[in-house]
Amino acid sequence: MIWESLKLSLLVVSVATVIVGVIGLALAFLLAKREFRGKELLDAVLTMPLVLPPTVTGYYLIVLLGRRGIVGSYVYDLTGWTIAFTWQGAVIAAVVVALPLMIKASRASIESVNPSYEIASYTLGKSEFETFFRVTLPLAKRGIYAGLVLSFARALGEFGATLMIAGNIPGVTQTMPLAIYEAVAAGDERQAQILALILTMISISAVYLTNKISRSRIYG
Amino acid sequence: MKQRLISILLLLVLGGCQADSPTSNGTLRDRETLTVSAAVSLKDAFNEIGDLCEAKTGKAISFNFGASGALQRQIETGAPVDVFASAGKKQMDELAAKDLIDAATRRDFARNTLVLIVPRDSKLNLTAFPDLTESDVRKIAVGNPKTVPAGQYTEQIFEKTNLQDRLQSKLITAEDVRQVLDYVVRGEVDAGIVYMTDARTAGEKVRVVAAASEDAHEPILYPVALVKDGKRKQSAREFLDFVLSAEGQSILRKYGFIGVSEK
């Protein structure tokens, strides 16, 4: 149970962090560099999973992606596949709750890049795309790394939404937080202790790393 | 301006959540309120019993519904509970062994049966438990046998009929029996095993296709007892008496339980 849930947690969290990194960065760029109607509303909606109870997030995911859900029913009719009780369900739950952290951290650090560097790049004939990747990103990388590590830690700790959308199936969706919940409910104190300790150590390392990154100096 | 508006909105939403939380009830009322921890399968019957009992005695009752195993842990860790009603003998026995319940007040107050249910629009032709081995049945929701009594009884049925090994890979374990029901209602699984009483609460949304025979598992008895550290002994006793009274028993029967006097 310990090894199985640790392995699963690491798989779910790694996949989720990659997805959060890509989507989060794209959204952060959009929010930092573009002006459009409802921009701050979009930001508020994307931030919701940070403040809503995970059970509410989980409920929305069921309504949206469940077998009889708004989107989920089409997916089921087309493919016969449904998100419930799959490790992909756990990934989706982790992505949704971790995304706000990535967006917040990256948006702030993209916005704090001195625009004169970007303008200089444009005057030298570089496209907006190239400027973003070769000027803005390298200058904003501390905040982006911090966002990634925080998202990793948040995804690792995800419990409520995962339980609701993915269920608690050993070896399939039973990540470490769920394994701890079950161990405590079943009165298996020892297992709960070991799992809690491992999870705590990984999380402390992640936050420590975040602080380290935010304090380090930028080279290149 | 826009940003400020949204922060105000956010504050309102957050403030609203706080006002709804149960802790804001005030402590004075809490001192008088009888706390009953009951297995989640008793929810509807106990809510009705609670309303009647409150009207009769004039004392407030608050229920804490959950998986019997989880409720047991709460009592073991000192939760301020007056009455414990479990869906399984095991949880009550373990509390009795730790001397946490008042053994003299313990009574079995209801019986239940296990049934096999499918979503209302299911196209499967299931009529008995062994049909679950058929290949078009892919997911079966059951209570987690480690913590949920319904799951333990289900495991007994499967073991007695030699189905356990053949079904293992199809089983989706839920953290309480109402979650099993929910999975079936939502159509996330092909079939589920719940109490007769749960199947009834879902009404049209599920179909009962088979009932487990009485000898396929231990009798599903619901024991109730006063918690030793409970502070409100008098109203706890009144509640317990009401559950066992003809009136209480008829409410339980209405929700699909079998009374303890009948056989």
Q: pLDDT at residue A188 above 90?
A: no
Residues B56 and B85 in one domain: yes
- CATH assignment at residue A81: 1.10.3720.10
From the list A198, A201, A220, the residue with the least C-alpha distance to A4 is A198
Split into its structural domains, chain A has a count of 1
* CA A204 to chain CA centroid, nearest Å: 17
In this complex, which of A169, A184, A187 lies closest to B173 when CB atoms are compared? A169
Number of domains in chain B: 2
B229 within domain boundaries: yes
Q: Which domain holds residue A110?
A: 2-215
**Cβ atoms of residues A168 and A178 within 8 Å:** yes
| Any B CB within 8 A of A77 CB | no
- CB within 8 Å: A185 and B69: yes
* Residue A67 sits at the chain B interface (C-beta within 8 Å): yes
Range of the domain at B52: 30-111+220-259
Domain membership of residue A146 (yes or no) is yes
pTM: 0.75
Instruction: Tell me: do B107 and B118 sit in the same domain.
Output: no
Task: Provide the shortest C-alpha distance from residue B72 to chain A (in Å).
Answer: 9
Angle between helices A54-65 and A87-111 (to 10 degrees): 120
User: CB contact, 8 Å: B146 with chain A?
Assistant: yes
Give a yes or no: residue A107 inside a domain: yes
Assess whether B87 and B152 both reside in one domain.
Answer: no
Residue B54 Cα, gap to closest chain A Cα (Å):
31
Residue A65 lies in a domain: yes
Q: For residues B136 and B174, state if they share a domain.
A: yes
**pLDDT above 90 coverage of chain A, percent:** 65
* Same domain, yes or no: B122 and B53: no
Domain membership of residue A147 (yes or no) is yes
Here the CATH number for the domain that contains residue B82 is 3.40.190.10
Q: How confident is the model at residue A218 (pLDDT cuts 50, 70, 90)?
A: low
Residue B135 lies in a domain: yes
Give the relative orientation of helices B149-160 and B89-97 as an angle to the nearest 10 degrees.
120
Q: Tell whether B169 is covered by a domain.
A: yes
Mean pLDDT per 10-residue interval, chain B, length 263 residues: 52 44 44 88 93 91 90 89 92 94 94 94 91 93 90 93 91 89 92 93 91 89 93 92 94 90 52
In a domain? residue B233? yes
Would residue A58 count as lying in a domain?
yes
Q: How far apart are CA A129 and CA A126, in angstroms?
A: 8
What is the per-residue pLDDT across A120-168, written as a single tens digit (0 to 9) for each? Answer: 999 998 888 889 889 999 999 999 999 999 999 999 999 999 988 888 8
| B24, part of any domain | no
* Whether B172 and A68 lie within 8 Å, measured CB to CB: no
Q: Do B122 and B198 belong to one domain?
A: yes
The reply to whether B131 and B176 lie within a common domain is: yes
Under a CB-based contact definition with an 8 Å cutoff, are residues B108 and B262 in contact?
no
Distance CA A104, CA A197 (A): 29
The answer as to whether B172 is a domain residue is yes
Which pLDDT does position A167 carry in this prediction?
Answer: 85
Minimal-distance CA residue of chain A relative to B74:
A185
Whole-number pLDDT of residue A156: 95
Closest partner residue to A185 among B3, B73, B186, by Cβ? B73
Q: Is A184 on the interface with B (CB under 8 A)?
A: yes
The answer to whether residues B141 and B81 belong to one domain is no
Q: Are residues B57 and B186 in the same domain?
A: no
On whether both B103 and B225 belong to a single domain, the answer is yes
Q: Is A198 inside any structural domain?
A: yes
Nearest residue in chain A measured CA to CA from B9: A44
Kindly state whether residue A23 falls inside one of the protein's structural domains: yes
pLDDT of residue B30: 56
Same domain for B203 and B139, yes or no, is yes
Closest CA–CA distance from residue B56 to any residue of chain A (Å): 35
Q: Which residues of B touch A167 (CB under 8 A)?
A: 172-174, 183
The partner residue sitting opposite A167, judged by closest CB among B6, B67, B172, is: B172
- Separation CA A102–CA B60 (nearest Å): 47
Q: Is residue A220 part of a domain?
A: no
Chain A residues in contact with B73 (beta carbon < 8 A): 184-185, 187
**Residue B14 within a domain:** no
